[in-house]
Chains A and B, each alone.
Chain A
Amino acid sequence: MCNWCSYAGADAAGSARKTYPPNISVIRVMCTGRIDPQFVLKAFQSGADGVLILGCHPGDCHYKEGNYKALRRFHLLRRMLGQLGIDEGRFRLDWVSASEADKFVATVHDMVKTVKALGPLHKITAPSSLGTKGKGSGAFQEMGNG
């Protein structure tokens, strides 16, 4: 979440004592423009079932244009994730202003609901036979990992 709008919106939800599921972990950045696609990939790789990016509304970015950059990267990355076998519903971007406590809570609820319906993200590990010369390897096998 970006420091200026969405993080403050989440704080506002706290001040209003609105409850939401505890299974979100918050990483604060100064601007959603800072969000490197690698962060998203790292998150999924480390075991996240979903990644949510929340930033300032278009036009309101504290740093003018950072949220537009985040939006561009988000669209491209989401399509890429789809091609990597990660359902696009697991990756979301939305705008939450400092006063939108309700929107924050609703977005979290909705994200958790969507990801729960998709189920946990399984990690695919390559079988050890892959890479040996000459020996044809079989297809990947999905191995539950968490």
Chain B
Amino acid sequence: MKLRIGVYICSCGTNISENLDIDELARVSSSLDTVTYVKVHNLLCSEEGKNYLAEDILKEKPDRAVIAACTPKEHEKTFRNVLQKAGLNPYLFQMVNIREQIAWVTSDKTAATDKAKSAIRMAVRRVALHEPLEKKEIDCNTDALVIGAGPAGMEAALLLAKAGRKVSLVEKNAFIGGRVARYEEVFPKMECASCMLEPIMDEILHDENIELLSCSEVQEVLGFVGNFVVQIKKNAGFVDKDKCLGCGACYDVCPVKIKNEFDYNLSERHAIYVPYVGALPNVPVIDKKNCLRFKGENCTLCKESCMFDAINYDDKDELLERNVGGIIAATGFELFDPSVLPQYGYGRIPEVYTSLEFERLLSQTGPTGGKLLMKNSKEPESVAIIHCVGSRDKNFKEYCSSVCCMYALKFARLIEKHSPSVKVYDIYADWCVPGKDNQAFLNSVREWENIKFLHTSLPMNAEIQQKGDAITVSCTDINGKKNELSCGMVVLCPAMLPSKDNMRLSELLQITKDQDGFFAEGHTKLAPVSTNIDGIYIAGCSQGPKDIQNSVAQGAAAAGQVLASLVPGRKLELDVMTAEIDGKACAECMICLNLCPYKAIVLDREKKVAVVNTVLCKGCGTCVAACPSESANSRHFTTQQIFAEIEEALK
């Protein structure tokens, strides 16, 4: 049975009609034996035009429609809607661009009309091969997994929980709060960091929609957006959190003393411990590697000291499974190791510290109780702070780490507050202090009489040597003059790097990383928390160096993405123009699988074919062009449809 193909030509007022001969175009098009009828209209996109189109479709009942008008980028959607309402599948339609790409760009009217004739013929041949594609929907889970319980992860978890979603919050450490748990005060308002975090952490621990899985790591992620299955390993802590009151009786009886990594080895802890006073959850864990009992000895000192019978040596690691719809990766940062740069003396000279180590020295819960003391328990006479160690340096990290200028000023302000007689030398290359309050903070720290600023040029060229009891710092300033100063302590501001976990997680989640290992955002400006994988979002320093304010904002943004895309009661609508693979010809060569940027193709090992997951497929067609056996085809952009256009174009 012959297809009834209706052609509608729009003259777009005079836009099209003044540059090509509409009547001639209509005449020639209706003489094609594949065309059933041709109708001309003045302005199809107007209300009147759309009504005319709908009524005409209802009347003529064509099997296919071709509309020659403006660019499809303008009105393809408009006309698809009209056709759908008029009872014609919106994909049994092809639009012809006779305005932007013919009428408006061709100087000769006859040549323009000829080109339009050819374009309509191409569309008529193509549309005959169109299929009536139908939108599909699938169910989705609206709960979420958040990886990382720092400021970004906690913000995301709280927002999601508030909206009624169940959140599994996975944290590899025994404590929550991320890096901020290590700070005494935060810039620019010099707020007490723990006071700031306290109410947030409290909510995390008590919200009934949040399941905190501390000492846990994600092992495997299967599935896709709306339908993820996640495997999480929860490491045994050997202390029952429901029985433990956090009284601390078990710590001091433990005979083992080892370096406390929370304090960057500047203090010691026991084998049963909380990393710092005030850590949350307030439940100690036993460090299996260093505990005497786990090394074979029959020590039960901690268990004997516990009045609540909370210690259980038989606790086992658990493998948990969770079903979620969306995942947020907020794995934070670590610092560049300055021992790679021998001129800074880090690791060689005892009183050279990284900024995170220095935070512990200034913290009330740290190794010195917040007093600025050197390892010999004396107060230094002066402290030098060096910016841009490894940052803004083409040999290491080209980027600016965003927070160092501000925390260097914070250090100066804290020293001024608690150890006002200590002098501070601040060696900087530039001031990076964007944001509403930060410039004012810089201005105010500048006024302190005990701080001296040394302006150098990039890359940072400070050299640090131990000279007797003191440290000498030499560097060339911005005027080329060599400066030398003597101080008791040096604080380095190393570049911010992504957490080492990003490597492993990016493989598990199949999300891409940038050249520095940070998770790659979908689009720098327009999709800062999305990734190449639908349903997986990123937030905080795992995406790039940033301060707490921006980390929290991104945590909220990522939660927003989950809330918007996965709605209870609403099904996930699948893209229509996806790729499909004909199993009969597929040879499992896996070329398509490896090419797909969205990991939308999987191997069905039983049927021995590659299968396109239409939830993830975006319809780019890269796999189709690459398939050597032509088993892959692109819905609505099939090879046959394009061949038809090509052949007709050249007749």
Whether both chains belong to one complex is answered with yes
Which residues of A are in contact with B by a Cβ distance under 8 Å?
3, 7-8, 10-11, 13-15, 17-20, 22, 25-31, 33-39, 42-43, 46-48, 62-66, 69, 73, 105
> Closest approach, in angstroms, between the C-beta of A51 and any C-beta of chain B?
9
Kindly report which residue of chain B lies nearest to residue A19, judged by CB atoms.
B107
The listed residue (B73, B107, B119, B624) touching A8 by CB distance below 8 A is: B73
Kindly report which residue of chain B lies nearest to residue A60, judged by CB atoms.
B523
Decide if A36 touches B625 in the complex (CB within 8 Å): yes
Kindly report which residue of chain B lies nearest to residue A42, judged by CB atoms.
B646
A8 to B70, CA, bound (A): 12
Given A8-B73, A30-B577, A19-B646 contact (CB < 8 Å): no
User: Could you list some 18 contacts between A and B, CB below 8 A?
Assistant: A3-B73, A18-B105, A20-B105, A25-B115, A25-B119, A25-B122, A27-B646, A28-B72, A33-B625, A34-B622, A39-B643, A42-B643, A43-B646, A43-B650, A47-B651, A48-B650, A63-B618, A105-B105
Decide if B532 touches A64 in the complex (CB within 8 Å): yes
B620 beta carbon closer than 8 Å to chain A: yes
Chain A neighbourhood of B118, CB < 8 A? 25
Kindly report which residue of chain A lies nearest to residue B95, judged by CB atoms.
A28
> Closest approach, in angstroms, between the C-beta of B628 and any C-beta of chain A?
11
> Closest approach, in angstroms, between the C-beta of B638 and any C-beta of chain A?
10
B108 beta carbon closer than 8 Å to chain A: yes
Decide if B639 touches A29 in the complex (CB within 8 Å): no
A37 to B100, CA, bound (A): 28
Given A19-B107, A26-B97, A63-B597, A14-B621 contact (CB < 8 Å): no
Decide if A69 touches B625 in the complex (CB within 8 Å): yes
The listed residue (B105, B119, B577) touching A19 by CB distance below 8 A is: B105
Given A8-B73, A30-B577, A13-B105 contact (CB < 8 Å): yes
Chain A neighbourhood of B99, CB < 8 A? 14
Bitwise interface map of B from 623 to 643 toward A, beta carbon under 8 Å scored 1, else 0: 011100000001001010011
Which residues of B are in contact with A by a Cβ distance under 8 Å?
71-73, 97, 99-102, 104-108, 111-112, 114-115, 118-119, 122, 532, 577, 595, 597, 618-622, 624-626, 634, 637, 639, 642-643, 645-647, 649-651
B contact patch SS = helix
The listed residue (A33, A39, A69) touching B646 by CB distance below 8 A is: A39
The listed residue (A22, A39, A65) touching B622 by CB distance below 8 A is: A65
* A15-B104, A30-B619 known, 7 other contacts, Cβ within 8 Å: A8-B73, A25-B115, A27-B645, A27-B649, A29-B621, A30-B577, A34-B621
A-B contact count (CB 8 A): 120
The listed residue (A8, A34, A36, A47) touching B650 by CB distance below 8 A is: A47
Decide if B620 touches A33 in the complex (CB within 8 Å): yes
Decide if B73 touches A63 in the complex (CB within 8 Å): no
A20 to B105, CA, bound (A): 6
Decide if B622 touches A14 in the complex (CB within 8 Å): no
> Closest approach, in angstroms, between the C-beta of A22 and any C-beta of chain B?
4
A63 to B634, CA, bound (A): 15
Chain B neighbourhood of A64, CB < 8 A? 532, 597
Chain A neighbourhood of B621, CB < 8 A? 29-31, 33-34, 66
Q: Which of A27, A34, A37, A105 has the most CB of B within 10 A?
A: A34
Chain B neighbourhood of A28, CB < 8 A? 72
A27 to B637, CA, bound (A): 11
Chain B neighbourhood of A18, CB < 8 A? 105
A31 to B626, CA, bound (A): 13
Kindly report which residue of chain A lies nearest to residue B72, judged by CB atoms.
A28
> Closest approach, in angstroms, between the C-beta of A59 and any C-beta of chain B?
10
Given A17-B104, A42-B643, A69-B595, A63-B620 contact (CB < 8 Å): yes
Chain B neighbourhood of A39, CB < 8 A? 639, 642-643, 646
